[in-house]
Every structure is written in C-alpha cells, then in structure tokens.
Amino acid sequence: MIGDFDMAHYPISNGAMLNVASIRGMKKKEKLHQWIRDTAKALENYLGEYPVKDTQVIVIPKTKKKHGPVPWGRLLRGNGMGILFVVIPDLPMEDFYTDWTATHEFSHMLIPNLEWDNKWLSEGLASYLEYVLMAQSEWISKEKAWIGIYKGLQRGEKGTEKLGRETLRATARTRGRSHRGGSRMRIYWSGALYFIKADLALRQQSNNKVGLSDILLKLNRCCVNHTKIWSGSFFAQKLDDLSNSKIFSDLYGEFWNGRSYPEYESTMKELGVSVNPNHPEKLKIEKNSLAALIMELR
C-alpha cells in the first residue's frame, strides 16, 4: 500500500491470512476490522474452509451517508486476491453486519474468474450467498434473508421485461450500455436464480446430504486458479463433474439461451417458502424446509 495506512494481519484457519489496510486514524478501526474478520469467518463456515491463502482488504472512509454503511465494494483478482471497501464509520456497527456488500464481495472468491459475458454467474452466486452468509451468521433472520432474495428475483424479472425478447447471452454481452435499463438486475438475479435452482436440485437428489456449498468446496480444492479465465460452459461442466450430475450444464443452457426470465415461484414453493408477490415482506418459511436448512450452518 502507498499512503498513510495502518496494516493489520489476522490468521484464519489452515494457515490463511487476512491482511487489512485502513487509513491511519480511521474511526472505529478495530470494530471495522472485526466486521471484516467476521465476514471472512462467515465465508469459511459456509464453504467448510477458507478458499484462498491470502486476502488483502483495503478500507477507506467516506463521510456522506446516502448509500448505507458500505457505499461501494469491489473484489480485485490481479496479483493476488483483494477487496476494496469504502465505508462510513460514523454509522452504527449493526448496520454493517446487516448490509450485504461485504458478504457479496467475499462470496466472489468461491468461483474462478469468468469471461466477461459470463459474469452473470459470478454476480449471481454473490447475490444469493450475500443473504445466506448473513443468515447463517445470525446477523439477519432466515425470513429476512429470503425476503431479500425474493425481492431481488422480482427485480430481475422486471429488468428482463424492460429488455424485450433478447437472450441472457445478448444482455450479458451488451451490459456496458449505460442506457439499457434493466440489464444489471437481469444479470445479477438471473445468476442468483441459477444457483438457487442448482442448490435445490442438489439437495433434492441427495435427500439434503449434498448442497451447493459441498460442490463449491470440491471446486476450490481441486480446480480454482484465480489467474485463469474460465468460460461459463466449462465452469458449468466442471460443476457437473464434481456433482456427478447434469444439473449445472442443463441450467446453463436454459438460462444462457432464454429470452424470458426463468420461472421461480414453483422453486420457492419447493424450497418451502410461502409468499404473496404483492406483499413479499409477509413471507413465511416452513419449519425444517430446505429454505430453512439452507440458512443454517451444517
């Protein structure tokens, strides 16, 4: 780091290290560092082990309070794995733990670097797991997690409708057009729905003995090289190989070539989620359902 930064080094399990650089004199530095450590621990708990040897985290304070406690975050995969967080230290620490930005950015580390037009998979996994990690850590309730996911799926559906009848492939390849309203939501929440459906299918075929986290653990142990760029189809095929299934490739073809937003209400019902689309804040989860179990540590 170049500048007036304090450096702190925190060991994680299996010899992994979390290296945090923050502006010297930043308010609540110790509490913010603990929040980052707790987020890394949430990722480790979900996967079963921490996915990379070293993580560099940079924390920069901001004073304006318009966009929540973490106005901006970004994962960087250059010479090593790094995450940048812009934070508003004056806000209560509870706000940081119930904000999705940190769990979203840390979740990106669970899959390899994908080609530009397949970033919908990376953003989708992070959009799904941002809520799973918060619920598993008991920073938010299971119900609040599924409400957040369901509202995201609704935004993805509305975003898709704005784009007409183009395929997700076309949306992903032209996502840089700033005037195309709806493309961001379609990309993020199509990807989230892809992994939700895959998680459900894995659990159904294994009587809940195998879930998405188990396949991602295998992926990280055997195959992830964060300097290599993968195609989406190769990524899906690798997950099929690791799960001894066709779940990921079949869903990939369905989503990638689809001209409409995939149906998700039946998926919610299969998970055990009861929700009125007009009043998602009243969502209910069946006891011992897959929706409930997904939000618990195994």
Q: What pLDDT does residue 179 have?
A: 54
**218 plus 233 within the same structural domain:** yes
The total of other beta-carbon atoms located within 10 Å of residue 149's CB is: 27
- State the total domains in the chain: 2
The amino acid that residue 237 corresponds to is: Q
For the chain, the residue count is: 298
Predicted TM-score (pTM) of the model is 0.96
Position 15 pLDDT exceeds 80: yes
**96 plus 121 within the same structural domain:** no
**117 plus 133 within the same structural domain:** yes
**203 plus 72 within the same structural domain:** no
**103 plus 123 within the same structural domain:** no
The domain boundary, picked from 73, 91, 110, lies at 110
Return the beta strands (E) in the chain as ranges.
5-11, 17-23, 54-61, 72-76, 81-87, 113-114, 229-230, 273-276, 279-285
Q: For 130-183, how does the pLDDT look when each residue is reduced to its tens digit (9 = 90+)?
A: 999 999 999 999 999 999 999 999 999 999 999 999 999 999 988 755 556 689
**82 plus 183 within the same structural domain:** no
Position 2 pLDDT exceeds 80: no
Q: CATH number, domain at 165?
A: 1.10.390
The total of other beta-carbon atoms located within 10 Å of residue 248's CB is: 27
Quote the CA–CA distance of 298 and 295 in Å, as a whole number: 9
**123 plus 104 within the same structural domain:** no
**81 plus 185 within the same structural domain:** no
Q: For 263-296, how does the pLDDT look when each residue is reduced to its tens digit (9 = 90+)?
A: 999 999 999 999 999 999 999 999 999 999 999 9
Quote the CA–CA distance of 146 and 135 in Å, as a whole number: 9
Q: Domain limits at 68?
A: 5-110
Q: How far is CA 252 from the centre of its chain?
A: 18
Q: Are 76 and 39 in contact (CB under 8 A)?
A: no
Strands 273-276 and 279-285: antiparallel
